[in-house]
Structure 1
Amino acid sequence: MRKRDARLFQIGRYWLSKRRDRAAYYATWFDEEKRRTCRASLETDDLEAAQIALADFVRQHGTMRDCEPAAVKVRTLLRRYYNNHAKLLPSGEAAFYAVPILDDAFGELTVDAVTLDRQRGFIEDMRKAGRSDGYIRRLLAVLKAALNRAVREGEITAAPHVMLLPESEPRERIATTAELAQLLAAARSEHLRRYLVLAIGTAARPGSILELTTFQCDLVDRFIQLNPRGRRQNKKRRPTIPMADFVAALVAKAAPGILVTYSRKRKSTTSRKRAKETPAPLKSIRTPWRRMVVEARRRVRRNAVGRVRALWRAQRHAAAWKALDEAHKRSDALLEIGPYTIRHTMATEMRRRGVEVWEVAGFLGHTTGYKTTERYAKIGPGVLAKAVAAIEGYFDELLDELVDQPGGEWYSSLCARCAPAPRWKGKQVVGNMVVRGVSSEPVSAGFAA
């Protein structure tokens, strides 16, 4: 460590330093608890840029205590909120995109300058830019969370009130059986097909499906623990649900581990060897879903070409234009279907097939409002038989739509009427032991309570 009189630049207890074998400058400080000097690279070798970066680093990570709102900029609190809190949350991605927008609008202001008039001006500007009220509400919610956290952590003494727009109406988009069958047929990769089958069979949220492993599935008692061992339940509750027959067939065929994986090519260290394909977990379903929708729209338009041409050749021009317009509408309607639409569709199908509201709520992991009852009378997979029967009936209807469709054989192989019963019987080989699926799940450090 450099001597105090030899430090290049210092702000409070933070100073600039360099390592002998590195050109970049480092933010350096002495940690009293660990009793050692700590460093963080500023990723620049220019002294002036390093000084600016150090000042920004101190604003984000330095100690703040009982500061007056007139002395702190909103930019500082937004960055501290994201770096120290929001990025660790499931909603961290939304905060990641919201912080730069809020920084442009309020970053240079001090906390006491965030008045209701300025907030109304921000709302008006966002509306002029074509943003919806729901989008604006989410941005203001991040601003409110950042200011409230600063007060809660004792960084500032007070925070102004942040007005939130009324919640927008929930999306009521429910996919039809024909639309969902078109998406199933357009799914080319096996990992996307697996995702779709699990989404239909569990009605779970995308995140829990991507994290689902064979160790959470019990093929003996036929249930799935959507919440893995060691993970604490939160507001987005993950229930334990019964397993549909077609989901059991999928799990039985899968290798031990995460169910939704893709083949990732790794470059070989030598030029003679070919690149190896190794299974890797899918972090997000957005890109595969977008490609599937593009393919489904292309097939809808292509299937309409023959009918339009036949009508045109028969001199039925009005009917041809009408058929073409309907094809475009069906194609555009697929853009409205997202990963969450399947969850909403399955909930609607269960109600349509006579499943009680409380049973649908238990299958989806929703609270019923009776907290004491839920605590002592837990909803288990054994009391959700009607829900899983409704899902199996809906999947049979999808198979009827997939007859003679590309990829239909893959889905039909999961159906009990088309395939033999799974031979796995709920057991996994782990090391030299044969154990049941749920009992062998390793506790993840990232999910530990």
Structure 2
Amino acid sequence: MSRRARPEPEFRLKRIPGRRYWHIVWSERRRSKKVSTGEEDWTEARAWMSGWLRQRNALPGPKARTVTQVLDGYLEERRLAGVLAYQRLVEATKPLKRHFGAMVPDEITPASIARYDRARGHLSPWTLRKEKQTLRAALRWGERAGWYRQAPEVPLGPMPPPRDRWLDTGERQRLIDGARAPHVRTFIILGLYTGARKGAILGLQWPAVDFDTGLLTYVDPDRPETKKRRATIPMPNVVREELLRARVLAQTTYVIEWNGKPVKDIRQAFARACQQAGLVGVTPHVMRHTCASMLAMKGRPLDEIADFLTISPATVYRIYRKFKPDYLRDAAAALDESAPCGALIREQESNSAEK
């Protein structure tokens, strides 16, 4: 006797208490199942469910690869390549999988990207742009891998304005004083007065600190070179004094250590220091921005700032030229020279006579 065919599950959208997004719920083999649509709007959730159902019912094959499969393939390729920011890449793909995962690449359109922008509108523009860059890179990788003929276009939108947050003298001192643990204080001083990136500071080891020559080298020879360049720079006195103090307490080869182990992630400790200092909207990258701003305000040439921070001169010119004391002074002086001599005084006298 042949078995009776199982009926197709009944799929429906449901708001689950305590959850932000609409979920697809159904019962299969006497078990309740659900999957998040990643959408708050019912209409958008319904559209997402339609694509998800089409993919669920599709026959497996090279043309039926989902965006989730493409993202996973891209992540594996990046992992094997030994990229340094692999974990951040993994985090960036999580919301992409929730929103686009059930789709096939051909279903990604400017309209679906616009829906993603609305769903992730609570993020900073830079974070949202990074997520879409990850999606675009993964889709282009799938094209190169021969999984489909052409990757869909992923509009990134206009470049967000540069972050203008930087710390003045009082804020810098409060941040240093807010560091309760020695390794956090060392991290902050290195960030403020060498302008190094967070990863470079956490990867700094004592053999790269030369007290005799006064040079500090942000290079890890055991890691592959990336687009994020590392610097060899003279140590400011405040950095030298801090490193001499930290060297006495060192238990490992890493400059930033805690309990005899190198520090892998300092976000929470840094956030506590900011809270203690009463600072809002400050991240480790703000210290790098502060260092560049201080150099510009001291009148250092932009090329010199670029070399010190190992960033392109074009980036320094675009972001930091406004901090230079003489910025646009020549333009203002040229206007003064073009004005008729005594024109302002004559205008004021004329106005007084009319009164």
What is the TM-score when the length of structure 1 is the normalising length? 0.52
- Structure 1 contact 224–241 (Cα < 8 Å) conserved: yes
For 1:76, give the aligned amino acid: Q
Which aligned pairs between 1:247-286 and structure 2 lie closer than 5 A?
A: 247-253=239-245, 254=247, 255=250, 257-263=253-259, 279-286=260-267
Quote how far apart the aligned CAs of 1:86 are.
5.7
Residue equivalent to 1:366: 311
Distance 1:238 1:115, change over 3 A: same
Q: Does structure 1 residue 80 correspond to structure 2 residue 73?
A: yes
Q: Which amino acid aligns with 1:84?
A: E
Equivalent residue for 1:110, pick from 99, 104, 108: 104
5+ residue gaps, structure 1: 1-66, 264-278, 298-333, 370-449
Q: Distance in 1 between matches of 2:235 and 2:124?
A: 39
Distance of 2:110 and 2:297 partners within structure 1: 46
Cα deviation 1:88-146 (Å, max 9, x = unaligned): 4333333322322112221111221212332233333433xx34543332222111111
Could you tell me how far apart the structure 1 residues matched to 2:203 and 2:104 are?
Answer: 42
In structure 2, the CA distance between the partners of 1:355 and 1:132, relative to structure 1 (3 Å rule), is: closer
* CA-to-aligned-CA distance 1:332-355 (integer Å, 9 cap, x gap): xx1112211111111111111121
SS in 1 for 2:106: helix
Structure 1 residue 82, shift from structure 2 partner: 1.9
CA distance in 1, matches of 2:309, 2:166: 16
Question: Which portions of structure 1, spanning 4 or more consecutive aligned residues, are displaced by more than 6 angstroms?
Answer: none
Greater shift after overlay, 172-181 or 86-95?
A: 86-95
Whole-angstrom distance in 2 between the partners of 1:122 and 1:353: 43
Q: 1:152 to 1:363 in 2, by over 3 A?
A: same
The structure whose RCO (Cα within 8 Å, separation 6+) is larger is 1
Q: Quote the residue 1:63 is aligned against.
A: none
Q: Deviations over 1:341-384 (max 9, x none)?
A: 11111111111112111111110012347xxxxxxxxxxxxxxx
Q: What one-letter code is carried by the residue in structure 2 that aligns with 1:110?
A: V
Q: Structure 1 pair 134/258, CA: closer, same or farther in 2 (3 Å)?
A: closer
Change (3 A) 1:214 1:99: same
Describe the shift of the 1:169–1:76 C-alpha distance in structure 2 as closer, same or farther (beyond 3 A).
same
Q: Given the superposition, is the C-alpha separation of residues 353 and 166 from structure 1 closer, same or farther in structure 2, using an over 3 Å criterion?
A: same
TM-score (norm 2): 0.65
Give how far 1:232 is off: 4.0
CA shift, 1:281, in A, is: 0.6
SS of structure 2 residue aligned to 1:85: helix
Q: 1:108 to 1:178 in 2, by over 3 A?
A: same
Unaligned runs of 5+ in 2: 1-60, 315-355
Q: Which deviates further from its counterpart, 231-240 or 176-185? A: 231-240
SS of corresponding position for 2:258:
strand
* CA 1:79–1:230: 2 relative to 1, 3 Å: closer
Q: Distance in 2 between matches of 1:247 and 1:147?
A: 44
Equivalent pair of 2:186/2:243 in contact (CA under 8 Å): no
